[in-house]
Amino acid sequence: MLFLRSFTQYIKESMDLSGKKYKVTNTDDIKGFILAGKAIFTIESQTTGVWYTYKITQAKKNKDIYFVNVLRGPDNQSSYTYLGLVSKNGDSFRFGLTKNSKYKIDAPCTVAFDYFFKNLIRGVLHPKMNFYHMGFCGRCGRALTVPESIKRGLGPWCAGKMSEEEEINNDRRRKLTQMNKDWKFDEVKDKRKRDSRIN
Ligand SMILES: [Zn+2]
């Protein structure tokens, strides 16, 4: 029991220490994120502080099937256990356990996900529930850098806002602008140093 508690605490701390948790509140963004193909996210109850991290990956052969996994270890990229399936049928989505599920229907991590998912597909996020992604694109898994992308949990290309070429060019432009700013800042600093020497 003590071990279990300290282990849970350890996971929580290692997650908090990473400092990479981004809250999303828009239910369309959340839905787009979790079903993007490669999504890692945490849901947390504001009332109890209990949280679970899940990974949802789209099946390679059948794009209407998504595997739902729950985090069971300290590495939030790899320590996942199989929970169940989300299946898409036209516009409707259904979550269910399969014979390979490692948890029962009444396990807290199953109940939490089922509740969250059922509401989400109706466009509802419980007001006492927080949703976070980890700063990685839900579709390709690359780190997100632009505020707009972080808000949505998808990079511009994966969100279908941009061609890959545009994205690369924009990224380049952004870096050059930043470089320019840094240089100007250095110039100002040098000038101040010179001025203060003269005075
Ligand atoms: Zn992406």
Q: Which residue has the higher pLDDT, 171 or 39?
A: 39
Same domain for 71 and 144: yes
Q: Which residue has the higher pLDDT, 1 or 197?
A: 197
pLDDT for residue 66 is more than 70: yes
Residues contacting residue 40 through CB under 8 Å, at least 6 positions apart? 53, 54, 55, 76, 77, 133, 134, 136, 138
Tell me the one-letter amino acid at 43. Answer: I
Q: What does residue 67 show for φ and ψ, rounded to 5 degrees?
A: -95, 130
Residue 166 CA to ligand 1 center (angstroms) comes to 14
| Distance of alpha carbon 149 from alpha carbon 71, whole angstroms | 24
Query: Hey, what are 165's tokens?
Result: 């070429």
Residue 175 CA to ligand 1 center (angstroms) comes to 19
Residue 170 CA to ligand 1 center (angstroms) comes to 15
Same domain for 132 and 196: no
What would the mean pLDDT of 176-193 be, rounded to a whole number? Answer: 80
Residue 159 CA to ligand 1 center (angstroms) comes to 7
Nearest to 19 by CA among 131, 134, 155: 134
Residues 112-155 pLDDT 10s: 999 999 999 999 999 999 999 999 999 999 999 888 888 889 98
One DSSP character per residue, 52-83 reads EEEEEEE-SS-TTEEEEEEE-SS-TTT-EEEE
Domain of residue 193: give its range.
163-199
Same domain for 122 and 146: yes
Same domain for 127 and 88: yes
pLDDT for residue 34 is more than 70: yes
How many distinct structural domains can be found in the chain? 2
Residue 29 CA to ligand 1 center (angstroms) comes to 14
Same domain for 141 and 169: no
pLDDT at 175: 84
Please report which confidence band the pLDDT of residue 16 belongs to, taking 50, 70 and 90 as the band edges.
very low
Residue 30 CA to ligand 1 center (angstroms) comes to 15
Same domain for 194 and 143: no
Same domain for 146 and 113: yes
Same domain for 136 and 68: yes
